[in-house]
Amino acid sequence: MPTIQFRAGLLHPKNWGSWCLFGVWWLISQLPFSVLLSLGESIGLLAFKFTSSRKSIAERNIELCFPNLNPQERHKMVRDNFINLGIALMEIGIAWWWSKKRFSRLVEIEGAENLTNVSKNGVLLLGIHYTTLEIGAAAATTAYDKVDGMYRAHGNPVYDFLQARGRVSKSCGNSRVFERKDVRGCLKALRNGRALWYGPDQDYGLGSGLFAPFFGIQAATVNATARFAQMSGAAIVPFTHIRLSGTKGYKVTFYPALNNFPVGDDLEDATAINKLIEEFILLKPEQYLWVHRRFKTRPEGEKDFYSP
């Protein structure tokens, strides 16, 4: 699969408005890091002040996953989460459009050897949906020259193009991108010794998964992590990307490859992955993407967690 190619159709007049908006976004992203953090925090706080469905989802998720927190503590976590969501908007511009040299000054990388030690078999980078997702994707391509990107197709063709290209913008030039439904392409890349980011922490229903405990609650969990490992022989290397306090930047950690995984039992494998995801969330719970309806799929007869 070739690197992302520019198409003449992207210059159609119907896309001019999108190009203008992204042009403004590009200009803003060139500001100093401290200014971008302040701007993102302001955007997050403004969004937090208004009632919205996403805010309600975040409140409900945090209530379910952290039942021991009192109302004031939950309120603070939701507020902090929206601040991180605002900053995440600025981080998209940083990850996509900053130079590799400028970007690298912000990122501390640990455990890169855990990628190279298993590279011959291919690597499935097991990540989660932190609000720093774009930073993590960019950092992975700077740490290892065989990382390919993954993205979810967007309805806006300009955004689709910029997202796909942005996720491999810090690579050495030989990285590719795959739409997340392109299972065949992903497997081929892994079998060829490539590394590919994969986040198994969202609710995609039971079409490709099963119920497994997540923070003590039955949650629809994809079993693709085990399937990819079984079908490709790839190693599963977990990694995290945490925003540090103030203007210290980011810490990206690649952990040793999982041992004895998969074991061949779908429930046991899914439970092990969910347990790892919980541990990663607890590193910085306010930086997780709580606005996703993680528990939208319920066992038969069980009430919808997100109904008003």
The pLDDT tens digits of the residues spanning 182-199 come to 888 888 888 888 898 889
Calpha distance 194→85 (Å, rounded): 30
pLDDT above 90 covers what percent of the chain?
69
Calpha distance 73→208 (Å, rounded): 35
Q: What is the mean pLDDT of the chain?
A: 91
Q: How do beta strands 235-243 and 250-254 pair?
A: antiparallel
- Residue 38, C-beta contacts closer than 8 angstroms, at least 6 positions apart: none
Q: Which fold has domain 15-287?
A: Glycerol-3-phosphate (1)-acyltransferase (3.40.1130)
pLDDT band at 1 (very low <50, low <70, confident <90, very high): very low
Would you give the DSSP letter of residue 125?
E
- Prediction pTM value: 0.92
**pLDDT at residue 155, as a whole number:** 80
Does position 303 have pLDDT exceeding 50, yes or no? yes
Calpha distance 189→196 (Å, rounded): 8
Calpha distance 297→32 (Å, rounded): 42
Residue recorded with tokens 């950690």: 253
At 78 the three-state DSSP class reads helix
Between residues 125 and 166, which one has the greater pLDDT?
125
Calpha distance 203→212 (Å, rounded): 11
pLDDT band at 119 (very low <50, low <70, confident <90, very high): low
Among candidate residues 165, 154, 145, 112, the one with its CA nearest the CA of residue 4: 165
- Residue 264, C-beta contacts closer than 8 angstroms, at least 6 positions apart: none
